[in-house]
Amino acid sequence: MTGVKAEWPLYEVFVRGKRGLNHVHVGSLHAPDDQMALRHARDVYTRRNEGVSIWVVRSSAITASSPDEKDPLFAPSGDKVYRHPTFYDIPADVPHM
Amino acid sequence: MTAVADEAVLQSSFDSTIAHNDRIEPRDWMPEDYRKTLVRQIAQHAHSEIIGMQPEGNWISRAPSLRRKAILLAKVQDEAGHGLYLYSACETLGVSREELTQKLMSGAQKYSSIFNYPTLSYADVGTIGWLVDGAAICNQVPLCRTSYGPYGRAMIRICKEESFHQRQGYELLMTMMRGTDEQRAMVQESVDRFWWPALMMFGPPDGDSPNTERSMAWGIKRHTNDELRQRMVDMTVPQAEALGVTLPDPDLRWNEERGSYDFGEVDWEEFWAVVKGNGPCNEQRLAHRRQAYDDGAWVREAALAFAASAGRVASASEDSAGRVASASERIETKEETR
pLDDT digits 0-9 by tens, B101-139: 999 999 999 999 999 999 999 999 999 999 999 999 999
Q: Is B45 exposed, middle or buried, given 0-12, 13-18 or 19+ CB atoms closer than 10 A?
A: buried
Nearest chain B residue to A44 by CA: give it.
B81
Rounded to a whole number, what is the distance in Å from the CA of B98 to chain A's nearest CA? 7
Size of interface A-B (CB pairs under 8 A): 97
| Segment B9-49, tens digit of pLDDT | 999 999 999 999 999 999 899 999 999 999 999 999 999 99
Provide ipTM, 2 decimals.
0.85
| Segment B133-148, tens digit of pLDDT | 999 999 999 999 999 9
B98 CB near a chain A CB, below 8 Å?
yes
Contact check, Cβ <8 Å, B29/A48? no
- For an interface test with B, give the residue of A4, A5, A7 to mutate (most B CBs within 10 A): A7
A10 CB near a chain B CB, below 8 Å?
yes
CA distances from B302 to A36, B66, B317 (A): 13, 34, 15
A4 CB near a chain B CB, below 8 Å?
yes
Contact check, Cβ <8 Å, B313/A30? no
B15 CB near a chain A CB, below 8 Å?
no
**Pairing mode, if any, of strands A53-58 and A10-16?**
antiparallel
**CB–CB of B91/B180 below 8 Å?**
no
Rounded to a whole number, what is the distance in Å from the CA of A97 to chain B's nearest CA? 35
For A58, the closest of B85, B88, B319 (CB atoms) is B319
Q: Which of B47, B71, B52, B168 is nearest to B117 (CA)?
A: B52
Q: Is A54 helix (H, G, I), strand (E, B) or coil?
A: strand
Sequence-distant (≥ 6) Cβ neighbours of residue B259 within 8 angstroms: none
pLDDT at residue B2 in the model: 64
**CB–CB of A54/A65 below 8 Å?**
no
The H or E element spanning position A85 is: none
CA distances from A68 to A65, B9, B335 (A): 9, 12, 12
The H or E element spanning position B218 is: none
**CB–CB of B88/B150 below 8 Å?**
yes
Residues of chain B with Cβ-Cβ distance to A34 below 8 Å are 312
| Segment B278-336, tens digit of pLDDT | 999 999 999 999 999 999 999 999 999 999 888 755 444 444 444 444 433 333 333 33
Predicted TM-score (pTM) above 0.95: no
Would residue B22 be called left, alpha or beta, if left means φ above 0 and alpha means ψ between -120 and 50 degrees? beta
A15 CB near a chain B CB, below 8 Å?
no
| Segment B257-283, tens digit of pLDDT | 999 999 999 999 999 999 999 999 999
pLDDT at residue B304 in the model: 92
Residues of chain B with Cβ-Cβ distance to A41 below 8 Å are none
**CB–CB of B205/B278 below 8 Å?**
no
Q: What type of residue sits at position A93?
A: D
Sequence-distant (≥ 6) Cβ neighbours of residue B247 within 8 angstroms: B191, B195, B236, B237, B240
| Segment A48-83, tens digit of pLDDT | 989 999 999 999 999 988 877 777 778 777 788 898
Q: Is B94 helix (H, G, I), strand (E, B) or coil?
A: coil
Average pLDDT, chain B: 91
Sequence-distant (≥ 6) Cβ neighbours of residue B114 within 8 angstroms: B48, B52, B132, B135, B197, B198, B200, B201
Q: Which of B36, B33, B40, B35 is nearest to B25 (CA)?
A: B35
For B312, the closest of A26, A34, A43 (CB atoms) is A34
CA distances from B262 to A5, B8, B99, B135, B136 (A): 52, 46, 43, 17, 21
Strands (E), chain B: 253-255, 260-262
**CB–CB of A17/B76 below 8 Å?**
no
Nearest chain A residue to B301 by CA: give it.
A4
B299 CB near a chain A CB, below 8 Å?
no
A10-16, strands of its sheet edge to edge: A23-30, A10-16, A53-58
- Among 3.30.70.2860, 3.40.1280.10, 3.40.50.720, 3.10.20.520, what is the CATH number of A2-65? 3.10.20.520
Count of alpha carbons within 13 angstroms of residue B31, beta-carbon side:
16
- For an interface test with B, give the residue of A1, A2, A65 to mutate (most B CBs within 10 A): A2
Where would I find the H helices in chain A?
34-45, 70-74
For B297, the closest of A1, A32, A59 (CB atoms) is A1
Q: Which residues pair with A28 in a beta bridge?
A: A12
pLDDT at residue B321 in the model: 42
**CB–CB of B191/B199 below 8 Å?**
no
Residues of chain B with Cβ-Cβ distance to A73 below 8 Å are none
Considering only CA atoms, give the Rg of chain A: 22
